[in-house]
Chain A
Amino acid sequence: MTRLAATLLALAALAALSGAGAEAAEPAPSAMVQVPGGEVALLFPVEGEDLVTVAPFAIDATPVTNAQFLAFVRAHPEWARGAVPRVFAGEAYLAHWGEDGGLGTADPDAPVTNVSWFAAAAYCEARGARLPTEAEWELVARAGERLTDGYLEPGYRERVLALVTGRAAVPGPVGRGEVNAYGVRDMHGLVWEWVFDVGAAMNTADSRAVGDRRLLLLCGGGSTGASDTSDYAAFLRYAFRSGLSGDYAGGGLGFRCAS
């Protein structure tokens, strides 16, 4: 056999080995996008504060994937399914993975779902990052295809609503969906995403009123005090967040990190 053939053969073998051992290889680190910050109008403005100022920050370009989360669990086995206490991750935690603790039939490049807030926060922390705040996430989500304020683009609300309601029951791989004006992908079309202060819209300084603000999302009360009553995707998103507790893990809920 010639040296060239042998080299090619070795390279092919190496590639095959890498393919087979994809689960064990470290996934590529998430690309992050710098967001210049700005002012964002939350769907339910807190009294006296129409706009929330957000300082410049960085956010993952795509949601965290199954492969990336697996590497985290391997490095931090206290977050393996079955090892983590129930209070930090509900019964459905990583339910879509294999029995042996690997990915099973789950797509390595799909966003990781069935993760609780605690697990998501721990992942970001292990990376030296954090979960984005609701204001940061909403600032990025507000971007359209060309403009950082998607409301200025005709048909923006309908496009976002179609992305949200058209999600597949099992999300596909990250990085192939819609990209917005910041260069951030898959904000609407794949999964719901955890934020750091998931109950923020529901909290005010007066703790007696906490229950009342949550009621804003129920029975039409949600239209009073909302900053834009025709942004149905935002209503769906805020309604989803309002029902969450830290240990909840579901098949349609993933996350990305910020710093």
Chain B
Amino acid sequence: MIPEIGTFALILALLLAVTQAVLPLVGAQRGNLTWMAVARPAAWGQFTFTLIAYLCLVYAFLTNDFTVINVASNSYSNLPAFYRVTATWGSHEGSLLFWSLILAVWTIAVATFSRTLPEEMVARVLGVMGLISIGFLSLLLITSSPFLRQFPGPVEGSDLNPLLQDWGMIIHPPMLYMGYVGFAVVFSFAVAALLSGRLDAAWARWSRPWATVAWAFLTLGVVLGSWWAYRELGWGGWWFWDPVENASFMPWLAGTALIHSLAVAEKRGAFKAWTVLLALMTFSLSLLGTFLVRSGVLSSVHAFAVDPQRGAYILGFMLLVVGGSLALFAWRAPRMVAGGAFTWFSRESLLLANNVVMVASVAAVLLGTLYPLFIDALGMGKLSVGPPYFNAVFVPLISPALFLMGVGPLMRWKGDSVPDVLQRLKWALGIAVATGLLLPLTMEGYKPWAVLGLGLSSWIALTVLIAFRERVKTAGQLSNLPRAFWGMHMAHLGLAIGVAGITMVANYEQELDVRMNVGDQAQMAGYTLTFMGVQQYAGANFAATRGTVIVKEGNAEPFTLYPEKRVYNRSGSVMTEAAVRPSLSSDLYVSLGEPLNEELSTWAVRLYYKPFINWLWIGALFMVVGGFLAASDRRYRIGAKARAPAGPAAQGA
């Protein structure tokens, strides 16, 4: 009964999405205020019914209703309750419903926080979001319903993939989707602006906080995925350039270019065409990601579905949304008037250079990801493009952007003087170069990439410091500085911290494969590890063999690590749960391999030493917080406060 209510709710949501799309868009075109006013209520209605549908699925999972095929394929009665809830987004159908829900959440967010915008704009933005909702809801109903039943239902489900039974699974998809889907908002703003034919600085100002918040969520989502893989997969890897990872990285790169481009569009009215194109591109890349994960066009560990039929449907949808928006762009491009002038050496020119580098890196990742498909489609054989390629290409490509990141924020708009800037930056440059060249001397092995990475990250950190020093001189004290300033520099510093972490881990990590009898000792990176044997125990839905390893470093207190091997009851899958000892300067990572004798007293054990790996996650956190800080800057909230008396003024701003 409940699953049928779910289907019914989806149908209602679809009808409301149609209403949300058609009436306001036509109304905006014709100046019909009544029709435009339909947008907000329709959006709320669509959200309500999408939520109801989602809750029906949650109910089916929580009550172990195995007559629902989706529940039977992805759950198990002994699966802990919170995993049963997260299993709702663990399958193709469920995750599409979740996508639609998040889209509805963003839609009502726009409906709520848009009181200061002109009605025509709001109507168009919500209308375009409605069109996107139509696509997803109809994809759900026609090809991928999570509510399909089977009678009689099986006695037991097939269990959730054990890889997904980790609390990283709880938080990674929601954050990722908030980011991915969040770019639909700035996409809709761009399309709305193109439709109205009015592309001015106001449009950039309205879109900017939405883009920044979506970017912050996407950063969080991507990094959580990386962190989860690191903890969960048992071999210490945290980025594999897998097609689906790339599918989330590309919108992130484009989104980064977008938020920077919006800054110029808002402040100087320049780069309007670039910015609109980036807004269209970022969400298109999100949609591309949706296509790649579900169509089977590329092979990936993450692939939700390998279903050319569904793939065809998504491709058709992409054709309409992306193709339509790009056609609209081409049509309206002549209307975009160039903004303020600037010289070779100005903040604008550096931000333009940043755009160029980011777009080139998106193109490079896209090329590498799709190349096997291109070659196969042209009948020229089968190729693989993997981490060695991406690492070789991406690092040199992104380095200029990292360098520019130090200079840009310190430059004046419109034009700055070279000697002046050099004067302010010369110490930072000197120290950064020295750090890059000298710091690796203190490590095991002098690695040239470490020179680059450490040099760039210290460069960025130092310039952030300089920026604060200079700004506080004029502002008086730290608390006078606007949130946008704090946000920007926090995010930049976060990236510097992340780059430092990546540089150290990639160049100086250590790995040791040993056979350990009970009582054996191994040495690595100053740690002495003693294997104390294994014990077996039964978990909620798995049987585990848990090893005990006592670790001592120099004269410090010894600590114990418990690496495990789990066999999940229902699926028989074997999972390696590594034991990690985190610290600010490194992770010690112990993973149980295979038993080497019948008595289970001798094991193959793999030890990893990962220097500064936690700087990656910390740096990313800085970026996320920085993003949210910047988006909550006073000037985006002013409009809301001055609503009633300054209505026309705010609108014209």
Chain B associates with chain A = no
